[in-house]
Amino acid sequence: MTTAYYTHADCKRHEMGSWHPESPERLQAIEDQLIASRINTLLDYREAPAALESDLARVHTADAIYRIRENCPSERSEYDHFPLDGDTSLNAYTWRASLRAAGAAVAATDAVIDAEIENAFCAIRPPGHHATSKEAMGFCMFNNVAVAAKHALEVRGLQRVAIVDFDVHHGNGTEEIFNGDQRVLMVSFFQHPYYPYCGTEHPASNMVNVPVPAHSYGNVIRELVSEQWLPALEAFKPEMIFISAGFDAHREDDMGQLGLVEADYAWITQQIMRVAKTHSHGRIVSCLEGGYNLSALARSVIAHVKILADLE
Residues found near Zn ion in the complex (CB under 5 A): 167, 169, 246, 248, 290
Rounded CA-CA distance 145/243 in Å is 8
CA 77, CA 12: separation in Å to the nearest integer?
17
Which uninterrupted H or E stretch holds 84?
strand 82-85
Which residue's CB is nearer to Zn ion, number 121 or number 139?
139
By C-beta, is 167 or 262 nearer to Zn ion?
167
State CA 107 to chain mean position distance. Answer: 15
Tell the smallest beta-carbon distance from residue 285 to Zn ion (Å). Answer: 19
Q: How far is the CB of 195 from Zn ion (least distance, A)?
A: 8
What per-residue string of b and e applies to 273-301 under the rule 16 or more CB within 10 Å gives b? bebbeebbebbbbbbbbbbbbbebbbbbb
291 backbone φψ class: left, alpha, beta (φ>0; ψ -120 to 50): left
Q: What is the DSSP letter of 264?
A: H
Q: Which residue, judged by CB position, is nearest to Zn ion in the bound state?
A: 290
When the beta carbons of 253 and 262 are compared against Zn ion, the nearer one is 253
CA atoms within 13 A on the CB side of 77: 9
Q: How far is residue 104's CA from residue 118's CA, in Å, rounded to a whole number?
A: 15
CB 74, min distance to Zn ion, A: 30
Angstrom distance (rounded) from CA 166 to CA 150: 20
Min. distance of Cβ 248 from Zn ion in angstroms? 4
Phi, psi at residue 101, to the nearest 5°?
Answer: -65, -50
Angle at 132 between CA 130 and CA 133, to 5 degrees: 155
Between 238 and 246, whose beta carbon lies closer to Zn ion? Answer: 246
Q: 173 vs 290, which CB is nearer to Zn ion?
A: 290
Task: Report in angstroms how near the CB of residue 148 gets to Zn ion at its nearest.
Answer: 18
How far is Cα 248 from Cα 230, in angstroms, rounded to an integer? 22
Nearer to Zn ion, 118 or 165 (CB): 165
CA distance 77 to 198: 37
**Least separation in angstroms between CB 171 and Zn ion:** 9
CB nearer Zn ion, residue 248 or residue 264? 248
Q: Which is nearer to Zn ion, 128 or 238 (CB)?
A: 128
Strand partners, 209: 188
DSSP character at residue 151: I
